[in-house]
Structure 1
Amino acid sequence: MKCIKLKCEYQTNPIGIDVKNPRFSWQIESEKQNIIQETYRIQCSNNKTFEEKKLLWDTGFVSTNNSNQIEYKGRELSSFQGVYWRVMVETNRGVSAFSEIAYFEMGFLDTEWLGNWITSDVKFQAKDQCPILKKNIYLTDTPVSARMYITSLGVYESEINSNKVNQDILAPGWTSYNNHLQYQTYDVKDMLVKGENTIAVTLGSGWYMGKIGFEKHGGPENRYGDTVALLAQIEAKYADGQSQIIVTDDSWKSDQSAIIFSGIYDGEHYDARIESSKNYDELASVKIYEPENQFDIVGQITPGVRVIDTIKPVELITTPNGDKVLDFGQNMVGWVKVSAQGNAGDEIYLKHGEIMLDNEFYNVNMRSAKTEALYILKGEGIETFEPHFTFFGFRYVKIEKYPGDIDINQFKGIVISSDIEYSGMFKCSNEKVNKLYENIVWGQKGNFVDIPTDCPQRDERLGWTADTQVFAATACYNAMSVSFYDKWLKDLAFDQLPNGCVPFVVPDVVRDSRTSSAWGDAATIVPYTLYRFYKDKKILERQYHSMKKWVEYIRAEGETETLWNTGFQFNDWLAKDGYGLTTMHGATPKDLVATAMFYYSTTLLVKSAQVLGYTEDVAKYNNLAERIKQTFNYEFVTKAGRISGETQTAYTLAIQFNLLDDKNIEVATKQLVELVRREEHRITTGFVGTPYIAHVLSNNGYNEDAYRMLLNEECPGWLYQVNMGATTIWERWDSLLPDGSINSGRMNSFNHYAYGSIAQWLFEVVLGITPDNGFQTFNIAPKPNPLLGFARGAIDTLYGRIQSAWEINEETITVSVSIPCNTTAKLYLPEVCQQDFKDTIQFENVDGALVIMLGSGNYSFTYSNKDIKALK
């Protein structure tokens, strides 16, 4: 028995933490079953010896089964202090030794940066040329420890002695720059040497001052400022205890880099002929820069954007028009790394697109985004190029210029994403469903580029709030997404207007005061989702004021305080129930959607207040929720239980959010099923209804209809996209029409993850895994159906790996589960199973189900499938 996977603030051995009292978590590993932690003991020390006099904190044995969110309460920590820590546990079945030693290190706490913001004094011909800032330094000895703390206005890439420092791409990342800016901390000990060293930092416009936003298709520039600048500090420590600090000041030098243009939307141009060969003394000066805005500089809390994969092209296509196009076989996000040999001035020019149309390269759906990469050779042997400060969403690359014959082996697809841990797994007997799940994961990776974006390719790439909230639970099943969303939620609270209005996109670069139901509801849905999955009370507490402001904003918006019937609404965006109408807003009444979401947000606010102990708010908002429910039924539900609009989404929202009186639930469910069967199980919901409809069917006695909706291969439907060759999730159900033509080319993304929310149903219904108490307790209630022969999957939680699987044959169903240590699960099986193994287990019957309490370990149950046969 041992403690493994020690984490501090969700990270392994992090450096540069700004949290004064960081939180710890660990997992317990044991071959024994039914392991429950009874006590833990944490020790924190200034060194690895853990001598008593060096201890910063020794908890002694604390009686609790909690192994997550344990807050440091030792001696006060100071800026840049390093701390070693370890943990041991006593369980009901034995005692562990102390774990292997973990480490964390503080960043800037109450300490001020010693340097100044600096910017280049070079006058560039074009605004988007990228300056390079340099500093030669002399170290008196070889350092035993060295850290580089760095941030920028714009984005940066740093080197020490020609070694790249930051593996993070597009650092310092995109935040609400007017409020806070991230810095990164890097270990640079092995890059620095005794004697002469050269630091070089290249700056790009990035989101800070490049084109961003969709106004006039491309957005105005200088959203946050008009000057790129650098702030950095290096501290090198020597064996004798002395240290040397290097900061950004007016002693640095500057020059133009070979990046002659770079932008998020348009791409990058690199002229290798002007790579700097100047002596340090020949470089231009820098100047001190004073940012116009006052903002906090905070340590990075989420994994940065990094290279996560490399893909080789699968084919070089010659189109009917004679164009040369590379097919990478996967709609990906990143860029192409290319090598070539030629003369000085020869060019490599690449254009990026997601699809081929009529066997020709197509990128009209990129709109004004040029999505181009240009490399001008210097003519010195084999040269290799990849962009620095941009990214593309693409599967196909049109090679417009290339010196010599094209060799497919000289091109590599570099895949980037925020480097979070992907551990979710789903497999079943239907390969098209497996491909669908693979597409969902690729969509998440491509749209998790520092913020949760809507799409990664066209002149948009924004943090749309609706896309984020509908996909949040799926994202948490697929990957450890907590710190990624934590960062984004801070920006949501910063950019929320004083009256509580939540903007369409976060960070807010649209800057108009409009909002919409289901979009602004990200303020309540995402924080509570994180609490369900990770039991992070700290995030919930920080966001609570934002959640409350949002609910109060809606209360003030409607004609009455319980009906939201005013203002702009996206409604059930891109629903296919418009019955021939050209609207993209769907046929569900917008007031119904808005009021239903109002009720849902209010109930989440109540649940959050209960968690946080805000008893007055619990009573106040429970009362509000009940009155919203009464209004909803008065406005939108007939006495016979029919719902206004008669759409899949209208019935789905009313049932899912528990808005109906008990007498009308069965009627409404039957009406929904009738609508679904009338469409031959084609889904007609849009962004709002899609996350819930399969859950409503499965959880209300119509599980087979939910399976048939999943397995429908006609348009609209998930497997229709798979049949049409999709490798990510599309923005529209019919982004490609059945005849292969494009649907409305200018707003048509082939990498939009919103409809990928069906993966939540795969995990929660097909596999049956749902969180309770941050997965320290949880339910496994699979709902098998013979339309699939088997299904199996897994997720990694803060406590360990949960697995669920089932398989059907002619006579039996076998359900197998794995439960991690220090957790307990309730396994729900059909009540008929009781007769098959009632003598071997302890169980209880709840609402027609056999409920088995399971501690940690691996279990398998086989029972007759006669109850399933009845569904055939």
Structure 2
Amino acid sequence: EGYPAPLVRVVEKRKPVAVTVTKSRPGCYLLDFGQNFTGNVRLQVNGMEKGRKITLRYGVEAGDLALNRQRDATATDTYVCKGGPAESWTPRFTIHTFRFAEVEGLPGKPGPDLLQGLVIHSDTPLTSSFECSDERVNRIFRNCVWTQRANWIDLPTSSELVNERMGDLGAVQLFAKSACYHTDNAAFLRKWFRELQGARDRQGYYRRHAPFPFAEDRLSYGAGFSDAGILAVFDHWWMYGDEEVVKENWTAMKKYLQARQDAHRRGRGRVFGTSGGDRLHFNDPTPSRLIDLAMLALDFRLMAEMSRVAGNPINHLTYNGTFVELQTEFRKNFVNEDGSLKVKSQTAQVVALRFGLLTDASRTRVIEDLLALLAAKEGPASSGMTSGALGTRSLLPVLTWTGNHNVALRLLQTPKYPSWGYGVDQGATTLRSNWGPTGKKRRAQDPGLDQSFGAVSGWLMSKVAGIDTTIPGFQRIRLEPWVPERQEGEAGAASITWVKAHYSSRRGLIEVHWKRREDGSLLYECDIPVQTTATVRLPASPEASVLIDGKAPGEDNRFEGGFVQTEKKGRITLNLVKSGAYRIEVK
């Protein structure tokens, strides 16, 4: 068969935005491309004497050029001129991740046409956009997209460090759904799932990397990354509705889940493999035992859902039954009599809420504790977030889902450390991993980009823009933007008053736009593709009136293209049964 995934190729060309003299290195010039990306450059010179040597060096930050951040690579290319008329040269068999390129060996200051940046990655088409009234949030979304573009090069890698350019299960587990919003990854991930199956060990465990690059590694599995073998397949199915992918991976997932459950029963409290845990937390550790149990419960819950298309009714009943058993075990081991958790980390509260491990009474108490923990850690220079990559992936969705959307927006928009906005204000054009123990400044061995906290873009699309699906594949679309209440943003963060976004789903293009007007009314516009239906849920008071395309619904609550349901819990529901564009006003 032919190659089953998009080819790796040059997908964009960039010109330098600035050329300066390197003060610490005479005869060297620094070219700033304005964006961190992965690829290489095209060197173009004219009239150089034969034998002149031109040296190119690369860095994510200007200061990187004085260090060797890429471990085993010098990130240096050398070209010896042949002399005569125009010469053009591009390095072969190598790529670099960089924003800055330093040139040495020129007879004088170069012009902006000396180097052309070549952006290289798997040619997966971009499928979404997000814009809002807060430019910092727009840059956060762009940083998430560029982080994926700089990492997903034939394999879903985790960082630009040369000896980490391997398919990383930990990164995929955290980032897969957001990545499927950014670009069309249907074929890319389906190809990688084959490699994922081939990288399993004899017991059926998914190992840390796929393809697995090492000859032997006794503890190459563990919660926090191995579970990507199930979570990533579920995310692919949810976004693309491709049942064949679930069926292709079903046997491998069942074997892994059985081995995982057997290890849990034998372990008697011991940690499963080498647990990835809640890495990059900010002095707020969560016990690996809690994460192991929570992830195992989530595995069974997702397998019960996927059994509807790949398994049988017995699988569905069995997996749901085991999930209930693990719920009970979690409550016994980690929940106090008053409903609070015994572990007081932010990630513990988030995971317990997100994975459905609590009773209704306990859920209320844990929500209160999470809000209290965030408030207690907040300060003049601190955002209040202390969760690591695993907890932060679900932090904002949990806050939104539990009715604390304004708290989630505050954490999104804050420029305080640690936060997404902090990196943006520091000039970062991709996401960085220096959220936790690494501190505010990068160390020489730290990567310049990391996907660990990139799931925020998926939350922006599904909750702030409100583009999601009710069933896998976007045949029944869920349009439910969580519009913030009118309030003043904190210092340096403007309140979000409008959002415009689109997503090119497998069913077609979905476009949305909402705006909170000065008089407090809400304008909502959407366009849904053919052969789909949509449920629109918007904030509305009991006294609110609704206009669809300038007309009020009829006495039977119907309008051309759908009908309105009774307002519940401060939201009104409109069911759209015809494709096309709609203009909805809530006054």
Deviation at 1:379, TM superposition (A): 2.5
Q: 1:766 to 1:503 in 2, by over 3 A?
A: same
1:853 pairs, out of 569, 575, 587, with 575
Please give the secondary structure, in 2, of the residue aligned with 1:725.
Answer: coil
Deviation at 1:343, TM superposition (A): 3.2
Q: 1:695 to 1:637 in 2, by over 3 A?
A: same
Q: What is the match of residue 337 of structure 1?
A: 42
Q: What is the match of residue 533 of structure 2?
A: 824
The whole-number CA distance in structure 1 between the counterparts of 2:331 and 2:371 is 20
The whole-number CA distance in structure 1 between the counterparts of 2:6 and 2:274 is 36
1:543 pairs, out of 243, 246, 249, with 249
Asked if the contact 2:160/2:448 (under 8 Å) is kept, the reply is no
Asked if the contact 1:310/1:415 (under 8 Å) is kept, the reply is yes
Asked if the contact 1:432/1:719 (under 8 Å) is kept, the reply is yes
Q: 1:863 to 1:389 in 2, by over 3 A?
A: same
Asked if the contact 1:683/1:717 (under 8 Å) is kept, the reply is yes
1:512 pairs, out of 205, 217, 222, with 217
The whole-number CA distance in structure 2 between the counterparts of 1:813 and 1:531 is 33
- Flag the structure with larger Rg: 1
1:603-635 CA distances to partner (integer Å, 9 max, x unpaired)? 111111122242222222222211111111111
The whole-number CA distance in structure 1 between the counterparts of 2:62 and 2:537 is 47
1:237-280 CA distances to partner (integer Å, 9 max, x unpaired)? xxxxxxxxxxxxxxxxxxxxxxxxxxxxxxxxxxxxxxxxxxxx
The whole-number CA distance in structure 1 between the counterparts of 2:409 and 2:392 is 14
The whole-number CA distance in structure 2 between the counterparts of 1:564 and 1:618 is 28
Q: Which has the higher contact order (CA 8 A, sep 6+)?
A: 2
Deviation at 1:403, TM superposition (A): 5.5
Please give the secondary structure, in 2, of the residue aligned with 1:366.
Answer: coil
Q: 1:834 to 1:470 in 2, by over 3 A?
A: farther
**Residue 453 in 1 paired to residue 161 in 2?**
no
1:87-127 CA distances to partner (integer Å, 9 max, x unpaired)? xxxxxxxxxxxxxxxxxxxxxxxxxxxxxxxxxxxxxxxxx
The whole-number CA distance in structure 1 between the counterparts of 2:33 and 2:273 is 44
**Residue 328 in 1 paired to residue 27 in 2?**
no
1:702 pairs, out of 395, 404, 407, with 404
The whole-number CA distance in structure 2 between the counterparts of 1:616 and 1:734 is 44
The whole-number CA distance in structure 1 between the counterparts of 2:283 and 2:513 is 35
Deviates more, 1:508-517 or 1:776-785: 508-517
1:577 pairs, out of 283, 299, 303, with 283
Asked if the contact 2:553/2:564 (under 8 Å) is kept, the reply is no
One-letter code of the match for 1:663? Answer: A
Deviation at 1:725, TM superposition (A): 0.3
Q: 1:551 to 1:501 in 2, by over 3 A?
A: same
1:456-482 CA distances to partner (integer Å, 9 max, x unpaired)? 344322211011121111111111111
Taking the TM superposition and a 5 Å limit, the aligned residue runs for 1:32-51 are none
Please give the secondary structure, in 2, of the residue aligned with 1:558.
Answer: helix
Q: What is the match of residue 304 of structure 1?
A: 7
Deviation at 1:832, TM superposition (A): 2.2
Deviation at 1:591, TM superposition (A): 0.7
Any unmatched runs of 5+ in structure 2? 487-494, 547-551
The whole-number CA distance in structure 1 between the counterparts of 2:567 and 2:453 is 33
1:173-227 CA distances to partner (integer Å, 9 max, x unpaired)? xxxxxxxxxxxxxxxxxxxxxxxxxxxxxxxxxxxxxxxxxxxxxxxxxxxxxxx
Q: 1:577 to 1:412 in 2, by over 3 A?
A: same
Please give the secondary structure, in 1, of the residue aligned with 2:10.
Answer: strand
- RMSD value over aligned CA atoms? 2.0
2:428 pairs, out of 687, 706, 726, with 726
Asked if the contact 1:559/1:566 (under 8 Å) is kept, the reply is no
Deviation at 1:574, TM superposition (A): 0.7
Please give the secondary structure, in 1, of the residue aligned with 2:435.
Answer: coil
Asked if the contact 2:178/2:458 (under 8 Å) is kept, the reply is yes
One-letter code of the match for 1:743? Answer: R
Asked if the contact 1:439/1:727 (under 8 Å) is kept, the reply is yes
The whole-number CA distance in structure 1 between the counterparts of 2:94 and 2:9 is 13
Q: What is the match of residue 490 of structure 2?
A: none
Q: 1:442 to 1:654 in 2, by over 3 A?
A: same
1:612 pairs, out of 310, 318, 333, with 310
1:321-366 CA distances to partner (integer Å, 9 max, x unpaired)? 1342221111111001102243333222111111123xx7344321
Deviation at 1:600, TM superposition (A): 0.7
Q: 1:846 to 1:699 in 2, by over 3 A?
A: farther
Please give the secondary structure, in 2, of the residue aligned with 1:756.
Answer: coil
**Residue 369 in 1 paired to residue 67 in 2?**
no
Q: How many residues align?
A: 553
Asked if the contact 1:831/1:845 (under 8 Å) is kept, the reply is no
One-letter code of the match for 2:474? Answer: F
2:22 pairs, out of 314, 319, 327, with 319
Q: 1:735 to 1:728 in 2, by over 3 A?
A: farther
The whole-number CA distance in structure 1 between the counterparts of 2:528 and 2:401 is 24
Q: What is the match of residue 345 of structure 2?
A: 647
Q: What is the match of residue 194 of structure 2?
A: 490
The whole-number CA distance in structure 2 between the counterparts of 1:592 and 1:599 is 11
The whole-number CA distance in structure 1 between the counterparts of 2:269 and 2:537 is 38
What is the TM-score normalised by the length of structure 1? 0.61
The whole-number CA distance in structure 2 between the counterparts of 1:442 and 1:565 is 35
Asked if the contact 1:557/1:564 (under 8 Å) is kept, the reply is no
Deviation at 1:424, TM superposition (A): 0.3
The whole-number CA distance in structure 1 between the counterparts of 2:298 and 2:438 is 34
Asked if the contact 2:247/2:309 (under 8 Å) is kept, the reply is no
One-letter code of the match for 1:368? Answer: D
Q: 1:550 to 1:503 in 2, by over 3 A?
A: same
Deviates more, 1:434-443 or 1:544-553: 544-553
Q: Which has the higher helix share?
A: 2
One-letter code of the match for 2:62? Answer: M
Deviation at 1:318, TM superposition (A): 1.9
Q: What is the match of residue 773 of structure 1?
A: 472
Q: What is the match of residue 362 of structure 2?
A: 664
Q: 1:426 to 1:362 in 2, by over 3 A?
A: farther
Q: What is the match of residue 790 of structure 1?
A: 498
The whole-number CA distance in structure 2 between the counterparts of 1:532 and 1:808 is 30
The whole-number CA distance in structure 1 between the counterparts of 2:89 and 2:101 is 15
Taking the TM superposition and a 5 Å limit, the aligned residue runs for 1:425-504 are 425-504=129-208
The whole-number CA distance in structure 2 between the counterparts of 1:453 and 1:735 is 22
Please give the secondary structure, in 2, of the residue aligned with 1:796.
Answer: strand
Taking the TM superposition and a 5 Å limit, the aligned residue runs for 1:99-118 are none
1:25-75 CA distances to partner (integer Å, 9 max, x unpaired)? xxxxxxxxxxxxxxxxxxxxxxxxxxxxxxxxxxxxxxxxxxxxxxxxxxx
Q: What is the match of residue 489 of structure 2?
A: none
**Residue 554 in 1 paired to residue 260 in 2?**
yes
Asked if the contact 1:649/1:688 (under 8 Å) is kept, the reply is yes
The whole-number CA distance in structure 2 between the counterparts of 1:710 and 1:652 is 16
The whole-number CA distance in structure 1 between the counterparts of 2:523 and 2:542 is 11
Asked if the contact 1:303/1:419 (under 8 Å) is kept, the reply is yes
Deviates more, 1:319-328 or 1:686-695: 319-328
Q: What is the match of residue 245 of structure 1?
A: none
The whole-number CA distance in structure 2 between the counterparts of 1:564 and 1:422 is 43
Q: What is the match of residue 391 of structure 1?
A: 95
Deviation at 1:691, TM superposition (A): 1.4
Please give the secondary structure, in 1, of the residue aligned with 2:318.
Answer: helix
The whole-number CA distance in structure 2 between the counterparts of 1:505 and 1:334 is 23
Asked if the contact 2:238/2:472 (under 8 Å) is kept, the reply is yes
Q: Which has the higher strand share?
A: 1
The whole-number CA distance in structure 1 between the counterparts of 2:244 and 2:543 is 42
Asked if the contact 1:735/1:749 (under 8 Å) is kept, the reply is no
Deviation at 1:566, TM superposition (A): 4.1
Q: 1:408 to 1:744 in 2, by over 3 A?
A: same
Asked if the contact 1:436/1:719 (under 8 Å) is kept, the reply is yes
Q: What is the match of residue 100 of structure 1?
A: none
Asked if the contact 2:280/2:437 (under 8 Å) is kept, the reply is no
Q: 1:572 to 1:736 in 2, by over 3 A?
A: closer
1:679 pairs, out of 372, 377, 391, with 377
